[in-house]
Structure formats: C-alpha cells, structure tokens
C-alpha cells in the first residue's frame, strides 16, 4: 500500500488529488486484476494520465479505459 501511495504522488496537483482520493475511496473496491491494471496505469506519464482522467483522450488498452472510468466515478 505504501508503494502505491508513493506512486500516486505525481508532479501535477490535479493528479495528486484525484489519485489520492481514489486510494482512499476506490482502491478497496478493486479486484486483483483491476489492482494490477491500476499499477500499470501508474507507470504512464503525467500528461497521459491527466488527459485520460480529464476525459480529453482514452487509453489504448480497454482495461485501462475501464479503470479510468472507474477512477473518475470513485475519486
């Protein structure tokens, strides 16, 4: 959990707020596959994450797209 918390700390305040809220509210709702997808999501750059989470673009991977939608609802 500490590693995930650290990975959610980003260079953009908006991402910090969204991801830290999601850690508290949405993370406990994830199954193991979704948790792995979340870890994969955190490997992407801040501009990619921002575009996806703000709805400006969609991830190339359907699993990431589904998770981004889930994060937007639960953060």
Domains recognised in the chain with CATH numbers = 12-73 (1.10.150.250)
Q: Tell whether the model's pLDDT for residue 6 goes beyond 80.
A: no
Candidates 27, 28, 46, 48; CA nearest to 38 is 27
- Rounded to a whole number of angstroms, the CA Rg of the chain reads 11
Task: List, for residues 17-40, the tens digit of each pLDDT value.
Answer: 999 999 989 889 999 999 999 999
**What's residue 9's pLDDT?**
80
Inter-residue contact 27 to 38 (CB < 8 Å): yes
**What's residue 4's pLDDT?**
74
**What's residue 3's pLDDT?**
80
Task: List, for residues 41-66, the tens digit of each pLDDT value.
Answer: 999 999 999 999 999 999 999 999 99
Assigned token pair, 44: 């992407």
């Amino acid at each position: 959990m500490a590693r995930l918390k650290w990975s959610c700390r980003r260079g953009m305040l908006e991402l910090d707020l969204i991801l830290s809220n999601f850690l508290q509210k949405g993370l406990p709702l994830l199954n193991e596959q979704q948790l792995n997808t979340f870890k994969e999501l955190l490997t992407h750059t801040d501009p990619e994450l921002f575009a996806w989470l703000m709805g400006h673009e969609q991830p190339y991977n359907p699993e990431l797209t589904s998770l981004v939608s889930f994060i937007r609802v639960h953060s």
